Structure formats: C-alpha cells, structure tokens
Structure 1
Amino acid sequence: MLPTPSTSHVDFDRVYEPAEDSYLLLDTLSSADETAFLHDRFDAASKQPSSSPLVVEVGVGSGVVLAFVAANAEIIFGRHDVLTLGTDINSFACQAASKTIHNAVKSAQTSIFLDVVNSDLASSLRPHTIDLLIFNPPYVPTRLPDFSRHDSYNDLPAGQTSTTFEQDSYLLELAYAGGIDGMEVTNRMLEQIPQILSFDRGVAYLLLCAQNKPEKVKQCVRDWGTGWKAETIGTSGKKAGWERLQIVKMWQQKN
C-alpha cells in the first residue's frame, strides 16, 4: 500500500478534511487496472515518450490526492516527468494544498509541482491543456453557499489574525454543498471538461455519490460525441442511500 501524504499542517476548520471520498480516489488511481491504463495512455514504455503529462486537480482541498499522485508518479504513470497543478475557490485550501504537495514531491523526489491557483473550477486554465483531470466535487444535495459573501470570506478579515466561525462555515460549505441533487457544481464542471482536456490523451476522474445519478452522468458524457466513453472504475461498496460513492472515468477513445 502506498503511503498517504501528511496533512498534519492543515487547519480543517476551514479546509475539507480527507475522508472516504479522498481515500477512494487514492485507491482507484493506484489500482492495477488504472495504472496499466495510464501507462499505456501516456506512452510510459515508449523509447521516445510523449511530452510531460499535465495533471490538474480541481477543488484540491487539503492537497492529499494531488500530492499522492505527484509523489507516486513513477508507479501511476510509469514516468517521473509529470507536471501537477491544483485549483480551488477557497484561498485557505490553496495555501494548505501547496504545502502538502510541495512536501510530498520533495520527499519523493519525483514529478514537478507547478502551483495551486485560487480560481473557480478550471476557468483559469487554457483550453485543451489538461491531460489528466481529478475532481472530487461538492456532491451533497443541499443548498449552495451564498457566494455574495465570497470576496470578504476568502481572506483573513482586515486587521484580524484568525477567521470567524461564520467564515469557516462558509468555506467548508464550498467543499460539500452541491445544490440540487448535489450536481449544480458538477454540471458546470462537466460543461468544461470537453474544452479543457487535451485532444489526444485527456482523461478525467470524477467522484459521485448515488444521489448524483451517476448512470445519467455517464450517458451525458457518451452523448458528447464520437469516441467519448465513461465507466465506473471504483466504488466504496454496497451502502444504502446516497452515501455510496463511485469514481467515473471519462475519456475519448484513441483512433
């Protein structure tokens, strides 16, 4: 079993704490089936390997998932020249994740950590540049946060050295509140995926719960056009209700 990156430095009062969904992503991305798929997808065995893959996690949170991928690039991709980049709407998560990933990469001496960008989903990235996208969205079916407060809550209050309870509550809502069916944020991400994945080898991993209607999501992806595929490749097991989790992989089949 590969080690889990340390998040002991993260303040979980305002940043999402790694939980079952995070660990399901770690287990799935490092599974034998997925590493074989990614080795082939990114030409790991080629005498003239393709350009360095860009791996982006949207909603990076504590950074535990992206740090895991960065630290274990040789195992997951079969190559060490992997570029990693994170985004998060929560500026405190950006700071925490940056430290998590930097520490993991420094310890493993593998892959290249670029940065963590404070932005909404993948809106700050150029089209068709992401080779592998990871997204653990806010998937709980509950009302979205009040985004009118975002500018004032996304930084320390003027003259203060700590956040307020109300601010912390808002920041955590960003990580779990998914709106109707838990899909309002995810649907926005799904609209971006065909435009941000690289043409020849782009692949996305999306975490969903049962109430997110994953079968409907997979059909939506297949309807994007010729060659688009979507499969469930990891689950948290047979559980009652919406808490059952699964990882859906989306990619366009190579010719």
Structure 2
Amino acid sequence: MLPTPDTSHVPYQRVYEPAEDSFLLLDTLSSSSETAFLSSRFASPSPFSPSPAPLILEVGPGSGVVIAFLTAHASTIFGSPHVLSTAIDVSPFACAATNLTVSKAVSENTSTSGFWTSATQGDLVSPFRPGSVDVLVFNPPYVPTPDLPAPPPTGLQALKEKTTFEEDSHLLELTYAGGRDGMETTDRLIEALPGVLSERGVAYILLCAQNKPEEVKGRIRVMGGEGKWKAETVGTSGRQAGWEKLQIVRVWR
C-alpha cells in the first residue's frame, strides 16, 4: 500500500479535508487495473524512443492529497517518474495547501516522484491550451444544492492571513455545493474534456448516486458522435448509503 501524503498543515476550517471521496480516488488510481492502464498508455516504450512526458492535472485539489499522491508515486502509478503534474482551484487557500502537500510528499519519495509545477488559482481548465492535458482528475462539488455559490476573488490579495467565519463557510461551500443534481460544475468540466484532453488523454471523475451516473456516462459516450468516447466505472465505495454512494468514472477516447 502506497503511503498517503501528510496534510496536517492544511487549514481545514477553509479547505476541504480528505474524506471518503478522496481516499476512493487514491485507492482507484493505485489499483492494479488502473496502474496497468495508465502505464500502458503513458510509460515510455524505451529510453531511445520516449513518449512525451504526460501532463497530470487535478481540478479542485483542496488539500492536495490526491495530486500529491500521484506525483510522489508516479513511477508506480504511471510506470515512469517522467510526468509533469499541476493543479487548479478557485480557492487561493487550497492552492497554497496543495503546494505544500505536494512539496512534502515529493521530498519524502524522491526516487519515485514526478515533477511538480504549482497549483494555480482559476476556473476549471480555462488556463490550459487545447489538447494539453493527458490525465485529468476531478473530485467535484457533487452535493445537490438549490444554487451554486459565487467564486472567491482571484489574485494573491485574496490570500489573507485572517478570514471571517462567513468567508471560511463560503470557501467550504464551494467544495461541496453542486447545484442542480449536484452536476452543474461537473457538466461544465465534461463539456470541456474534448477540448483540453490530448488524443491519449484520460479523465477520472467522481460521482455520487444522486448525480445519476448512468445517465452521465451515457451522455459522455455520445459526445462528438456515437462510439468516440468511452466512460466506465473503475472504482466504487461499495456502500449502500443512498445518494452518498460514490464511484469513479474513467473517461477516454
């Protein structure tokens, strides 16, 4: 079992704390079936004809536990340490926490780590060039809510040393409030996949039962024409807990 990155430094009053959904992603991405899939897709065939280093992106990393895990254990998960990883989050506090989480994990796993760039504040995949992302991981705000909260202000000036209770509550609301069917943010991300993923690109998206995952997978499979995209469940919490039952869907061409 690969060690879980340390997140003891994360300010959980304003940044999402690793929970069942986070650990399901870790278990799924490090499973034998997924490491075999990812290694076959991204590991260089030989040192004399290497494939381009894949770009690994986590959207909404929160504490950074998932992208730190992928970066620190790149050799095991992707079959090669030659990966470039990054993250993007609307919260400047999540970006700061992620940078520290990944830095600590990499320093503790130097022999297996990929190369980490930084976490950037932004909206979904908007800063990335078309076709630039090879592996995208998204643990979205998936709880059905009447409305979506407004995004926080952007820029370094938003990273204040002290925040109010209301500001902290708003930041945490951003991590779980998914709007109608809990899918408003996830639908935006899915719509962006054909543009941002490379030809060999793959996305891992977490869904709960109230997100209607079978319908979601059906919609993905007809994007751009029948049979162009695949969407399969590759990990599940396995619990009969109503709408809180979770699954990881892999999306690829």
- Report the TM-score range of the alignment, normalised by the length of the smaller protein: over 0.9
Structure 2 Cα separation of the partners of residues 204 and 184 of structure 1: 18
Task: State yes or no: 1:34 paired with 2:37.
Answer: no
Shift in Å, 1:44:
4.0
**Which residue of the partner structure matches residue 209 of structure 1?**
208
Cα contact 2:43–2:80 (8 A) shared by 1: no
Structure 2 Cα separation of the partners of residues 132 and 194 of structure 1: 13
Q: Which letter maps to 2:142?
A: Y
Identity of aligned residues (%): 56
Shift in Å, 1:152:
8.6
Cα contact 1:145–1:170 (8 A) shared by 2: no
**Which residue of the partner structure matches residue 82 of structure 2?**
81
Structure 2 Cα separation of the partners of residues 232 and 152 of structure 1: 34
Cα contact 1:44–1:77 (8 A) shared by 2: no
Structure 2 Cα separation of the partners of residues 249 and 55 of structure 1: 14
Task: State yes or no: 1:144 paired with 2:143.
Answer: no
**1:68-123 Cα distance to aligned partner (Å, 9 max, x none):** 00010000011001100000000110000011011111221121001101001111
Q: Which letter maps to 2:90?
A: I
Cα contact 1:66–1:86 (8 A) shared by 2: yes
Q: For residues 178 and 55 of structure 1, do their structure 2 counterparts lie closer, same or farther at Cα, with a shift above 3 Å needed?
A: same
Aligned pairs for 1:114-133 within 5 A: 114-133=117-136
Structure 1 Cα separation of the partners of residues 185 and 169 of structure 2: 18
TM-score (normalizing by structure 1): 0.93
What value does the CA root-mean-square deviation take over the aligned residues? 1.6
Cα contact 1:131–1:198 (8 A) shared by 2: yes
Structure 2 Cα separation of the partners of residues 228 and 152 of structure 1: 34
Shift in Å, 1:142:
1.2
Secondary structure of the corresponding residue to residue 100 of structure 1: helix
Q: Which letter maps to 1:8?
A: S
Cα contact 1:28–1:233 (8 A) shared by 2: yes
**1:109-152 Cα distance to aligned partner (Å, 9 max, x none):** 121001101001111111110000000000001133441x7229
Structure 1 Cα separation of the partners of residues 176 and 2 of structure 2: 27
Task: State yes or no: 1:111 paired with 2:114.
Answer: yes
**After the TM superposition, which parts of structure 1 deviate over 4 Å for at least 4 consecutive aligned residues?**
none
Structure 2 Cα separation of the partners of residues 146 and 138 of structure 1: 11
Task: State yes or no: 1:155 paired with 2:154.
Answer: no
**Which residue of the partner structure matches residue 217 of structure 2?**
218
Shift in Å, 1:34:
0.4
**Which residue of the partner structure matches residue 182 of structure 1?**
182
TM-score (normalizing by structure 2): 0.94
Cα contact 1:203–1:251 (8 A) shared by 2: yes
Cα contact 1:156–1:163 (8 A) shared by 2: no
Structure 1 Cα separation of the partners of residues 36 and 114 of structure 2: 19
Q: For residues 4 and 152 of structure 1, do their structure 2 counterparts lie closer, same or farther at Cα, with a shift above 3 Å needed?
A: closer
**Which residue of the partner structure matches residue 193 of structure 2?**
193
**1:40-61 Cα distance to aligned partner (Å, 9 max, x none):** 1114444522010100000011
